[in-house]
Chain A
């Protein structure tokens, strides 16, 4: 029959593609059940290899194995390889080092989650996820998940799923170490405040705390920090943990004021409607907090700036 011929061609092609590439990136709920079936066949084939290689596959991953057909992140995990979006230039959180390695708290979280999904952290391919590109990277399936100081907001929830929060940051101010008159957001009146282009954090200060503040925007926080060090701006504002990373980069020159206001819930972004994947990552985050890895990762990455490690959040499930 004609339908069966087409179906078997599709199935064969899908199986071949999966076997060759060793990962899946084409599974969307709308695809035909035939293709999904072919995928499952291919997955069980690759799963065997993967489980042979990593004997200690996590309980979370195997428990959810039945639902992997609709989850990009779980399919990728089963294939033993993950593509993760992080920031490359965020000190203490996501940094690509000159030697090609990656470090920072977001990187540690990404690795821990990968491990819990049954993927060796060395098999993670890190790609850069700038703020403006994050929804697009997820929407097009170019990354399996994103850990990049990604605040959970309602507007973003329209486009992506969030696991977590894995961290609650507070907006704060970064000033020179010898500064004494900027004690909090209210003290910014008549001063120049720096933030990155398009960011709403500076506007928040202007709207809620100090109408007389002047706002300077630069493309990156590094630019803001340079301007702060040269005295051209009086303070830099964004999330405290990000500021702490910069303070750690310039020991003795910069300090975080420490009067945090507003809550920024950092989540792990993944494909819209991937409930199975979201649940698996939430389980991993809970495990990371529970076994002390979470606290240790923070101490290793942003701790040196003198930043006080806050209480851990409760990931939603």
Chain B
């Protein structure tokens, strides 16, 4: 098989996967934070907050990711004018464009992935015995403290493994960023397939191998982390 494109300076395979990693890391951090907030809202005593968070989760979760990412670019940025980077006049707008697209993609991934994080954590909350929250309330903690100090830490420890699955899905989902021109691994693959049509199989193998290299250790790390984090009762 012909892997000559690997040494072709036009195709930066490592650089493309580095963008994939960056997309994953920023999106994962954001999605975790937003997911925890959404989960907290879904179990809070205020019906309006519960309803709002439930609505957001059920709507976002059921929209195809490609649609969300394209909407981020075509609707949120192009139609509604959201700017996540500044375009300096007289300078090559490529840097502006790259930053803008990268951030739009990350924002889209955060919104999408947070709904899955939220649902995972919510199922974790159900594994925490109600007595834990009662004891925390009896000590005099406020609702936010009960959730933040007692319930969520135990809930999150219970769902480390499912959160690992969400992260692996996120790694693979970052390929959708190519839909708005973020130069990650899938975009490089499209370019390679267009220019090196005769090396079809080799291109697929290289890109697939790259994702396995990223995802496989993630699964292993989260597997052992889940064992360590689990709460003994």
Interface residues of chain A, those whose CB is within 8 Å of chain B, are 131-132, 135-136, 155-156, 158-159, 190-192, 197-200, 212-219, 223, 226-227, 230-232
Contacts and interface: CB of A to CB of B under 8 A. Distances in A.
A155 B178 contact: no
A231 B92 CA distance: 17
Interface in B162-194: 178-181, 187, 190-194
A197 B180 CA distance: 9
A226 B70 CA distance: 11
A192 B93 contact: yes
30 contacts: A131-B194, A132-B194, A135-B200, A155-B197, A156-B197, A159-B197, A159-B198, A192-B93, A197-B179, A197-B190, A198-B190, A198-B191, A198-B192, A198-B193, A199-B194, A200-B194, A200-B195, A214-B96, A215-B97, A215-B181, A216-B97, A216-B101, A217-B178, A217-B181, A217-B187, A218-B180, A219-B178, A227-B74, A227-B78, A232-B77
Given A156-B197, A200-B194, A214-B96, 19 more contacts: A131-B194, A132-B193, A135-B200, A155-B196, A190-B92, A192-B97, A197-B178, A198-B195, A199-B194, A200-B195, A217-B180, A217-B187, A218-B70, A223-B70, A226-B74, A226-B78, A227-B78, A230-B74, A231-B78
Given A197-B190, A198-B194, A191 B93 contact: yes
Nearest to A226: B74
A179 B90 CA distance: 19
B78 to A, nearest CB: 4
B162 to A, nearest CB: 31
Contacts of A159: 197-198
Q: Which size class do B's interface residues fall under?
A: 20 to 34
B191 to A, nearest CB: 5
Contacts of A136: 200
Q: State the 4 A-B residue pairs at the shortest beta-carbon distance, nearest first.
A: A198-B190, A217-B181, A214-B94, A232-B78
A247 to B, nearest CB: 19
Contacts of B181: 197, 215-218
Nearest to B179: A219
Nearest to A199: B194
Given A227-B74, A230-B78, A214 B196 contact: no
B79 interface: yes
Interface string B143-161: 0000000000000000000
A198 B187 CA distance: 7
